[in-house]
């Protein structure tokens, strides 16, 4: 077998392989003889078919099978011989006019993994949030929890933000009712932004039994085309006004969270631990994304198109599975919308793999155990969750891969320029709201 490899462009290679024609012919002859012993042809008993008849009937099919099999096997032998790292499946084609009469040739076109150097990591800059959860943060969280468990109490006063109205309404466009625009006994929490812009605002100050006419417009991007951007009228009757009642921080409230001992102090400790865990996870994710952005910006490597296409296929299938899972009609998904995301995933995967390999990063058993226990901590029976992961090799392997990625990020952080930034719990968890 003779092999030559040329670079056609970037990461693409074209390999030409020459096989001795005698080897191909010998394999064809061998398979035909094997076939002769079992071939069934009308007019002949099994195993008694003349070889000339077998050759005439099956030689075309056998020749194609042998050529395909030998091209595949010789190709991967050549790849191993030339120490090439394939990125994607090859396109293999026989050469119709080989250079020599005593040979059979084929070409294979494929991409290889890029070779690159891990450089410039010390130019990556990022901010790492640093915070300490204080009593004020804890107090805000307890207030949020109280609001989540609020009840409603009917009131005679005019409605205000935060109240819940029960309403009947009829929507019309150009004097005619439109489909889906009418309903009765609908609970509506003021300030929830459930309805189109202006609907809730125009009901502020309304009392039980009051009727109001609302002049509004549907948003331009509204999902119902016939209504998008159109002016409409809503005739609304307020049948009930209710104000929120927050539960007291007493034993009954504490018991609702499964806290049986320690009372309110125990609940506060539980809430604080949950906040600390959420903050730690958010900081880890925020720092990781900054590291990823920094690695992408270094532009270290050329990206194999085959890997990007494969990742796009994966993302398309995931989108279709989600549509099926939620019972939505499986709409045609445009692969182009996933191209940037797929390219980012491939680049990061290649860089992280190189970091792990070059730095010989391995997950110590204690670090893996810690990762599993952190995941299990949010469950009611963490010990059972830990046991489950250690009894399922596939699940445990998933945690190990995530931890390996975390360790690679930590290695990059040792090279990068990291600035600690003091922040609050609210700023960390709700950056958009606090920025506004």
> Tell me: the pLDDT tens digits for 101-122?
889 999 999 999 999 999 999 9
DSSP state of 230: -
Per-residue pLDDT, 232: 96
Distance between CA atoms of 260 and 200, rounded to whole angstroms? Answer: 41
Taking only the tens place, the pLDDT of each residue in 259-310 is 888 899 999 999 999 999 999 999 999 999 999 999 999 999 999 999 999 9
Task: Tell me the whole-structure pTM to 2 decimals.
Answer: 0.77
In whole angstroms, give the CA distance from residue 179 to residue 19.
Answer: 72
Where do the domains of the chain lie?
Answer: 2-111, 121-135+276-435, 151-245
Confidence at 436, pLDDT banded by 50, 70, 90: very low
Give the position of tokens 């490899």: 5
Summarize pLDDT for 131-143 with one digit per residue, the tens.
Answer: 999 999 999 999 9
Give the torsion sign (CA, 411, 416, 422, 424): negative
Across 175-204, average pLDDT:
94
Q: Mean per-residue pLDDT for 346-360?
A: 96
Distances (CA, A) of 80 to 71, 75, 169: 14, 9, 73
Domain 121-135+276-435, classified CATH 1.10.3720.10, yes or no? no
In tens, the pLDDT along 75-107 reads: 999 999 999 999 999 999 999 887 778 899 999
**Mean pLDDT calculated for residue range 403-412:** 96
Read off the pLDDT band of 372 (50, 70, 90). very high
The domain defined by 2-111 folds into: Alpha-Beta Plaits (3.30.70)
In the chain, what percentage of residues exceed pLDDT 90? Answer: 78
What mean pLDDT is predicted for residues 12-18? 95
Which pLDDT score is estimated for 230?
Answer: 95
Non-local (6+) Cβ contacts of 113 within 8 A are 11, 85, 86, 87, 304, 350
pLDDT in tens, 28-51: 999 888 887 777 777 777 777 788
Distance CA(102)–CA(106), nearest Å, equals 14
Q: What class is the 151-245 domain?
A: alpha beta
Q: What are the pLDDT digits (tens) for 207-248?
A: 999 999 999 999 998 888 889 999 999 999 999 999 999 999
- Bridge partner list, 20: 103
């Amino acid at each position: 077998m003779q092999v030559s490899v040329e670079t056609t462009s970037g990461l693409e290679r074209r390999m030409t392989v020459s096989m001795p024609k005698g080897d191909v012919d010998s394999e064809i002859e061998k398979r035909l003889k094997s076939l002769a012993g079992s071939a069934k042809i009308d007019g002949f008993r099994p195993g008694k078919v003349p070889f000339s008849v077998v050759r005439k009937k099956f030689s075309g099919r056998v020749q194609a099978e042998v050529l395909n099999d030998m091209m595949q096997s010789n190709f991967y032998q050549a790849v191993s011989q030339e120490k090439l790292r394939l990125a994607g499946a090859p396109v293999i084609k026989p050469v119709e006019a080989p250079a020599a009469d005593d040979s059979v040739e084929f070409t294979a076109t494929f991409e290889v993994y890029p070779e690159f150097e891990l450089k410039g990591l010390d130019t990556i800059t990022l901010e790492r949030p640093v915070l300490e959860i204080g009593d004020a943060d804890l107090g805000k969280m307890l207030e949020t929890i109280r609001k989540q468990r609020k009840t409603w109490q009917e009131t005679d006063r005019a409605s205000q933000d935060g109240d819940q109205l029960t309403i009947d309404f009829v929507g019309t466009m150009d004097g005619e009712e439109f489909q889906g625009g009418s309903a009765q006994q609908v609970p509506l929490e003021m300030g929830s932004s459930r309805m189109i812009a202006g609907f809730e605002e125009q009901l502020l100050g309304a009392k039980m039994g009051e009727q109001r006419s609302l002049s509004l417009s549907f948003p331009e991007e509204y999902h119902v085309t016939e209504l998008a951007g159109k002016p409409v009228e809503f005739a609304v009757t307020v049948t009930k006004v209710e104000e929120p009642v927050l539960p007291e921080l007493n034993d009954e409230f504490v018991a609702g969270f499964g806290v049986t001992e320690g009372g309110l102090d125990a609940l506060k400790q539980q809430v604080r631990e949950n906040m600390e865990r959420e903050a730690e996870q958010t900081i880890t994710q925020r720092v990781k994304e900054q590291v990823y952005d920094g690695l992408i910006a270094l532009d270290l490597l050329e990206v194999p198109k085959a890997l990007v296409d494969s990742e796009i296929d994966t993302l398309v299938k995931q989108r279709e599975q989600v549509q099926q899972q939620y019972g939505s009609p499986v709409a045609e998904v445009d692969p182009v919308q996933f191209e940037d995301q797929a390219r980012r995933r491939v680049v990061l995967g290649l860089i992280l793999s190189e970091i792990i390999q070059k730095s010989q990063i391995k997950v110590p058993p204690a670090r893996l155990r810690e990762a599993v226990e952190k995941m299990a901590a949010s469950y009611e029976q963490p010990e059972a969750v830990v046991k489950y992961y250690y009894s399922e090799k596939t699940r445990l392997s998933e945690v190990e891969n995530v931890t390996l990625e975390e360790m690679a990020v930590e290695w990059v952080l040792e090279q990068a320029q990291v600035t600690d930034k003091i922040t609050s719990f609210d700023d960390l968890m709700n950056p958009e709201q606090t920025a506004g």
